Amino acid sequence: MKSGSNLEKVLAAGHFAVTGELGPPRGNNVEEVRHKAHFLKGIVDSVNITDNQTAVVRMASWAASKILIEEGLEPNYQMVCRDRNRIALQSDILGATALGIKNVLCLSGDHQRFGDHPEAKNVYDLDSIQLIAAFKKMRDDKVFLNDKELDGAPGIFIGAAANPFADPFEWRVVRMGKKITAGADFIQTQCIYNMPKFREFVKMAVDQGLTEQCALLAGITPLKSVGMAKYMAKFVPGMDVPEEHIKRLQGVDKKKQGDEGIKIAIEMIHEIRETMPGVKGVHVMAIEWEHRAKEIVEGAGLLPRPVV
């Protein structure tokens, strides 16, 4: 075991894993974190705690992760390269593991121009792939990036992200392969809506043997409404929402659109689980909709979660 985290154990035991997501508050409202966490308890194997997602300032990911541990859940501590140089990144992973955090997700991070402080300087000292390699080096070789020995190495299960829908399509699998080569233990994908394209992506990954080396978790985000679907299709870079989903949501009463979105999500999980053996789990991102995550996981027949 690399970290002995619940997520690692669930995957090692061959179970179809389920991870969730929780966005820390835009303030230090601890109750908000506990409140959201309570909806996910027993529903998912571990929970991604976003790191200033979309470059909007929020409570530190490590702190919200710690609160989650107190609540009896397991966090996937997200770390972006946008705001920290190699000194801070290495320091933070040491601090995070000292607090009991066992999973980390390494990301480049959305550019700050998308966020609420577009005038900020950025860092990007390392990129996501270099960050993965740095953490692997710290864990396995027990040294810092500069090869100096650690006084206590971080046992950490290393995650990374892949977006099968960004361009150029053919390069996406290669890049995911680079992340695996760098040391990723698990990969979570961007939200999937275009199933045929995702199937093609998974096939390429399987053909290249990548799904044997690393656990691939498919990203699922329920569409809450026609408005959200259209917004994602139009304004979120690298997001592929096919017209058929939008039409299907348009076909139901406005109040029922959310339910329909959840139905679509459940159908997608079934399809992935039953027809894509290369995929080892799902990452359910019910953004600001944590209270409905249970419906999705339950509907997909993935409850109760295994105890390992």
Partner 1 sequence: MIVGDSKPLEEILEMIQGKEKVLVLGCRGCVTVCNVGGEKEVGILATMLRIARKKAGLAPTVDERTIERQCDPEYIEELAEVAEGYDAIISIACGVGPQFMSERYPKVPVYPGINTTFIGGALEHGVWSERCQSCGNCLVHNFGGLCPIARCSKSIMNGPCGGSANKKCEISPDVDCIWHLIVEKMAGMGRLKELERVWPVKNWITSRDGGPRKRVREDLKQ
Q: Enumerate binding residues for partner 1 (CB under 8 A).
A: 111-113, 118-122
Smallest distance, Å, CB 112 to partner 1? 7
- In the complex with partner 1, the residue whose CB is nearer, 109 or 258, is 109
Looking at the Cβ atoms of 83 and 240, the one nearer to partner 1 is: 83
Nearest distance, CB of residue 118 and partner 1, angstroms: 6
Closest listed residue to residue 223, CA positions, set 263, 164, 178, 181: 263
Nearer Cβ to partner 1, position 237 or 301? Answer: 237
* Structure-token pair, residue 126: 């390392």
Q: Based on CB atoms, which residue is closest to partner 1, 118 or 301?
A: 118
Give CA torsion, residues 248, 252, 255, 256, to 10 deg. Answer: -70
Q: CB–CB of 243/181 below 8 Å?
A: no
Distance CA 231, CA 193 (A): 14
Q: How far apart are CA 10 and CA 4, in angstroms?
A: 10
Q: Which is nearer to partner 1, 81 or 93 (CB)?
A: 81
| Cβ neighbours of residue 51 closer than 8 Å, sequence gap 6 or more | 61, 77, 78, 79, 80, 83, 107, 109
Measured from the CB atom, the residue of 111 and 263 that comes closer to partner 1 is 111
Residue 108 phi, psi dihedral angles, 5° rounding: -70, -40
Shortest CB 134 distance to partner 1, Å: 23
1 vs 8: CA distance, rounded Å: 8
Counted residue by residue, the chain has a size of: 308
Toward partner 1, which CB reaches closer, 120 or 153?
A: 120
Query: Least separation, in Å, of the C-beta of 270 and partner 1?
Result: 41
Closest approach of partner 1 to the CB of residue 81, in Å: 14
Helix residue ranges per DSSP H, the chain = 6-12, 30-40, 61-70, 86-98, 128-136, 169-182, 195-207, 210-213, 226-235, 243-250, 257-275, 293-299
Name the token pair of 202.
């998974």
Nearer to partner 1, 2 or 111 (CB): 111
SS (HEC) of 45-90: CEEEECCCHHHCCCCCHHHHHHHHHHCCCCEEEEEECCCCCHHHHH
Question: From the CB of 285, what's the least distance to partner 1, in Å?
Answer: 26
CB of 119 to partner 1, least distance (A): 4
**Distance of closest approach, residue 121 Cβ to partner 1, in angstroms:** 4
